Amino acid sequence: MDDSQKLMAAVWQSVKTIVEEEAIKLGKEVTPAFTSSLAEVVYSQMGIMAADLEAFANHGKRTGISMEDVKLCARRNESMLEILSDTAKEIMDEKKK
């Protein structure tokens, strides 16, 4: 099993766990096909986000990805941007201690 297959298996397992927890909370049943499809979407989005993050860092002439790069990826999702901004602030506050 190569690294991409291992990553896909880990994504699938994480998605399966979350889907099962949410299904129980909502009193719904989900099919394995739904879980597999959702895992494929998540895996695909991870690849897109990774490429975007790398492009943002390269554009900024940096070798590493910064919190600002991550927030830039989330700029079209206001709730995600708010969560990331709050988390970034908490991290910075912790570093100051």
pLDDT confidence of residue 97: 75
pLDDT band at 95 (very low <50, low <70, confident <90, very high): confident
Using CA atoms, how far residue 28 sits from 19, 20, 35, 43, 55, in Å, is 10, 9, 13, 24, 40
Asked whether residue 77 carries a pLDDT value surpassing 80, the answer given is yes
Structure confidence by residue, pLDDT tens digits, 3-40: 999 999 999 999 999 999 999 999 999 999 999 999 99
Which helix or strand (DSSP H or E) is residue 34 part of?
helix 32-59
Q: Output phi, psi for 84, to 5 deg.
A: -65, -40
pLDDT confidence of residue 1: 85
User: Rounded mean pLDDT of the chain?
Assistant: 93
